[in-house]
Amino acid sequence: MLGKGVVGGGGGTKAPKPSFVSYVRPEEIHTNEKEVTEKEVTLHLLPGEQLLCEASTVLKYVQEDSCQRGICGKLVCTDFKIAFLGDDESALDNDETQFKNKVIGENDITLHCVDQIYGVFDEKKKTLFGQLKKYPEKLIIHCKDLRVFHFCLRYTKEEEVKRIVSGIIHHTLAPKLLKRLFLFSYATAVQNNTATNPKKHTIMFDTLEDWCWELERTKGNAKYRAVSVNEGYRVCERLPAYFVVPTPLPEENVPRFQGHGIPIWCWSCHNGCALLKMSALPKEQDDSILQVQKSFLDGIYKIIHRPPYELVKTEDLSSNFVSLQDIQTAYSKFKQLFLIDNSTEFWDTDIKWFSLLESSSWLDIIRRCLKKAIEIIECLEAQNMNVLLLEENASDLCCLISSLVQVMMDPHCRTRVGFQSLIQKEWIMGGHCFLDRCNHLRQSDKEEVPVFLLFLDCVWQLVHQHPPAFEFTETYLTVLSDSLYIPIFSTFFFNSPHQKDTNMGRESQETQSKPLNLLTVWDWSVQFEPKAQMLLRNPLYVEKPKLDKGQRKGHQRQLSLPLTQSKSSPKRGFFREETDHLIKNLLGKRISKLINSSDELQDNFREFYDSWHSKPTDHHGLLLPHIEGPEIKVWAQRYLRWIPEAQILGGGTVATMSKLLEMMEEVQSLQEKIDERHHRQEALQAEAPSLLRNSVRLSSLFPFALLQRHSSKPVLPTSGWKALGDEEDLAKREDEFVDLGDV
C-alpha cells in the first residue's frame, strides 16, 4: 500500500516535513525561482544528444539521519544521460577537481549506468518500474558504478514530477532496440569529423596482419597460422573475420559445425606450448549425428595431441568451475554492501561487514578464478603441455581465464597497450556478449552477468600485490570499468564483431552512405585531459631492459626449465581417457569427475605455487598472485569511492605514492643536474607528483574522493564501539570533514 499522503502525482502539493533542512529554505523556493534559474549551470549536450524531459526546483541532497541538506536545481533527462544542474557548482570549479571526465560530469548518469530506481512515499522506499499510478516525493537512483543519487521532488510542480519520473523510468529501464542506442545518434552526428586512430594505441585484431603480428611476437608462428576463412562472416557470425588455428588443421573443417569444435589459438608460451580454446558442438539426440560429431572431434584431437611431441590437457570450464549463475548471484549480493543510502545504514552494515562480505562469495569466486589460471600456467610452464579450454560458446569463462593466464605469464600484457590489445583479442574479437552481459538493451536481467568486471577485479588483485609489474594503475582499471556504460564508444556495446560491422553499415550493400566510424574507448584523450591521464600510468613501473642476443638465449633456456624434477610421460591409457573426456564434454555429455581435479594435479599445483613464491619476484617474468583467503581483498577504490565515511583522510596508498613520487622527482632532478640538463625531457611524468601534492584534501580514495561533496557530519556509532578515543582528539584528527559537536 502506498502512503495516504501521496496525492495524485505527488510531490507538487505536499507540505514539507519539519525535519528537512536545505540550502534554500522551502518557503523561499517559489519566490526565488527566477534567481535560482539564473544561477543554473548550462546543460552541455554531446553531438546528437537531445533533451527529453526536465523538472525545475529539484533538490539533490545527501541524507544524514534525520537531517537532510541539498542543492536546488534542475533535473533533466536526455537520450544519453540523466543530469542535475545545480546552482552551487561554482565551488567545484577549482584546481582540486583535477581528475574530471570530459564526457560524464559529477552529476551526470548515463542511461546505461542506471541499476535500480526507487521512490519514497511517506518515508517508505519502493522499487519503481513501468507505469506509475502515484508519483514519489523523493527519487533514489542506484548506479552500476555504485553511486547513489537522492532527489527531492516535494517542491517541484506536479506535472513536471510526472514527466521527469516517467521519462527516467522509461528511458532507463524499458527494453530498447539496438539501433535506438545513443551510440548510433552520436556516430551519425560526428560522422564527418576526423575519426581517432586507435591503432597507434592498441592492436585491434580486425585484420589478418594483426594476428600475424601477434603470432610472431609470441613465436607461435611455427605451429599456428592465421586464417581468413571467415572473412565477411561467411562461415560463422560468432567468430571474428580472422583468427588463428593449428597449422595442420584443414580450413574446410572450420565450416563443418559453424566454427564449433575448432581449436582456436589464444597465446603461445616461451617453451612452445600454447593456450587454445574451443566451443562445444550443439547437443544432438540423433545417434547418427552423434557418431558424425564423435568422428569429427576424434580427427581434431589427433591434430592437437600427438604424443610425445604435442601433449594437450583439457580444461572444461562449463563444469566443476564457477558458473555464470554463481557470478551473477555473488555480485548481486556483493554490490549491496556499497549502495549505501545514508550514514546510519553505513554504520549498521559496518558492524556485520565481514559476515556480509563472506556470504556474498564474490571474493571466493575471484580466488577460484586466479587458482584456475595458476593451474593452467603450471601445465604450460612446468609440464610443457598445451591447454585446451572448453566452454559452450567459448565467450565467457574462456575469455576470463585465457586473459588471466596471459596477464600472469606475458609481461607485454602488463603494459597499457598490451593490456588493451589483450582485451581486444580475447574479449572483443573473442565474441564476449557485452551487449547482453551488461544488459544495455534491458531485454533480459537473466543474461546480465559481470564477467568482464570479474576479470578486472582479478587483475586488480595482481596490481595490488605486484604494483611495479604493471604500467597501468588501479585508477586505470576503475575508469575502464566505468567506460562499460558510456555509449559513445563502440568497444563494449556489441555481442560480436559481426554485429558491430553489420550495424555500422560495413556489411550492408544497401547503405549508400559511408560506414559509421565510432570512437574506441582506448583513446583516453576523449575522456581525460593529459594531466588527468597521468594518473592512469604507474610511475613506479620500470620497462623491461633490452637483452643482447646471447643474454636472451640464456634467459629463454632458464625459463624453459621445469621447476620440479622431470616426470616420466604418462601412460598411453591416460591420454585415451583425455580424448574420451574431450569428446564427451564437447558433445554435451558431462561427466562428474574430471581428470583435472585429481589429487596429482593438486599436488603439482601446490608444489609449483610454493616454489614460485619462495623465490624473488621477477616483475618482467612469470607473475603469480597470493590466493590465500586474507590476500584476496576488496577493490576499495572502485567499490568504496563514493562513500565518505569509508575514506582515510591523508592516508591509504595515495599517501605512500605521494612520498614515493616526491623521492622520484628529487632523484630525477639530481640526475638532470649531473647530466647538465636544465629542461625536463619527461615533462608529463614530472607532473604526477605535483598533481598529488596540489590536492589539499588527499584521501585513500583519491582521485575520485575529490569529486563528491563530503558529509559534513558523518555519524560515528556509539553503541557498538567503546574505544574510539576522546571526542577532542577525533575532532583534531579529522577537523576538515568531521564535526563531532552533535555526537
Residues 298-348: tens digit of each pLDDT: 999 999 998 988 899 999 999 989 999 999 999 999 999 999 988 888 888
Q: State the pLDDT at residue 678.
A: 53
Residue 373 has pLDDT above 70, yes or no: yes
Residue 619 has pLDDT above 80, yes or no: yes
Ranges 171-185, 251-265, 407-421, 702-716: which has the least confidence = 702-716
8 Å CB contact between 460 and 477: yes
Residue 433 has pLDDT above 80, yes or no: yes
Outline where 520-652 has alpha helix (H): 530-533, 549-560, 572-586, 599-613, 636-640
Mean pLDDT, range 539-564, rounded to an integer: 54
Rounded to whole angstroms, the Cα distance separating 604 from 403 reads 22
Q: Is 386 helix (H, G, I), strand (E, B) or coil?
A: strand
- DSSP label at residue 139: E
Q: Is 263 exposed, middle or buried (CB count within 10 Å of its CB: 0-12, 13-18, 19+)? A: buried
SS3 labels along 312-376: EEEEECCCCCCCHHHHHHHHHHHHCCCCCCEHHHHHHHHHCHHHHHHHHCHHHHHHHHHHHHHHH
Q: State the pLDDT at residue 733.
A: 42
Mean pLDDT, range 101-129, rounded to an integer: 96
Q: What confidence category does residue 717 fall into, taking pLDDT thresholds of 50, 70 and 90?
A: very low
Residue 449 has pLDDT above 50, yes or no: yes
- Which of 110, 119, 120 minimizes the C-alpha distance to 171? 110
Residue 359 has pLDDT above 70, yes or no: yes
User: What are the tens digits of pLDDT across the range 636-661?
Assistant: 999 999 998 888 887 777 777 777 77
Q: State the pLDDT at residue 92.
A: 44
Buried b (16+ CB within 10 A) or exposed e, 229-244: bbeebebbbbbbbbbb
Q: Is 352 exposed, middle or buried (CB count within 10 Å of its CB: 0-12, 13-18, 19+)? A: exposed
Mean pLDDT, range 584-611, rounded to an integer: 61
H or E element in which residue 502 lies: helix 497-503
Q: Please give the distance of CA 317 from its chain centroid, rounded to a whole number.
A: 21
Rounded to whole angstroms, the Cα distance separating 452 from 458 reads 10
Rounded to whole angstroms, the Cα distance separating 264 from 245 reads 5
Dihedral angle over CA of 249, 251, 253, 258, nearest 10: 130
Q: State the pLDDT at residue 648.
A: 82
- DSSP label at residue 154: T
Q: How many other CB atoms are found less than 10 A from the CB of residue 56?
A: 20
Cell triple for 738: 568531521
Cell triple for 651: 592516508
Q: How many other CB atoms are found less than 10 A from the CB of residue 351?
A: 13
Q: Mean of the per-residue pLDDT values for the chain?
A: 81
- In percent, how much of the chain has pLDDT > 90? 61
384/343: higher pLDDT: 384
The model carries a pTM of: 0.84
8 Å CB contact between 122 and 3: yes
Phi and psi (nearest 5°) for 733? Answer: -70, -35
Pairing of strands 312-316, 386-391: parallel
Type of residue at 115:
D
User: For the chain, how many residues are written?
Assistant: 743
Q: How many other CB atoms are found less than 10 A from the CB of residue 313?
A: 21
Residue 520 has pLDDT above 80, yes or no: yes
- DSSP label at residue 658: H
- Which of 526, 430, 529, 531 minimizes the C-alpha distance to 483? 526
Residue 596 has pLDDT above 80, yes or no: no
Mean pLDDT, range 468-477, rounded to an integer: 96
| CA dist list (Å): 122 to 135, 154, 437, 708, 713 | 11, 11, 36, 28, 25
| CA dist list (Å): 391 to 397, 402, 427, 577, 589 | 7, 12, 14, 19, 13
Longest CA–CA separation in the chain, Å: 89
Pairing of strands 67-78, 51-64: antiparallel
CA angle at 215 for the pair 566 and 500, rounded to the nearest 5° = 125
Residue 11 has pLDDT above 50, yes or no: no
Whether the bond into 703 is cis, omega within 30 of 0? yes
- In percent, how much of the chain has pLDDT > 70? 74
Q: Mind listing the domains of the chain with CATH numbers?
A: 51-90+97-174 (2.30.29.30), 208-536 (no CATH)
Mean pLDDT, range 448-462, rounded to an integer: 98
Residue 91 has pLDDT above 50, yes or no: no
Adjacent-strand bridge partners of 74:
85
Dihedral angle over CA of 652, 656, 658, 660, nearest 10: -160
CA angle at 667 for the pair 664 and 670, rounded to the nearest 5° = 150
Rounded to whole angstroms, the Cα distance separating 638 from 478 reads 6
Ranges 65-74, 300-309, 724-733: which has the least confidence = 724-733
Which residue has 555526537 as its cell numbers? Answer: 743
Would you put residue 528 in left (φ > 0), alpha (ψ -120 to 50) or beta? beta
- Which of 390, 394, 389, 402 minimizes the C-alpha distance to 239? 394
Q: What confidence category does residue 413 fall into, taking pLDDT thresholds of 50, 70 and 90?
A: very high
Residue 504 has pLDDT above 80, yes or no: yes
H or E element in which residue 535 lies: none
Q: State the pLDDT at residue 740.
A: 32
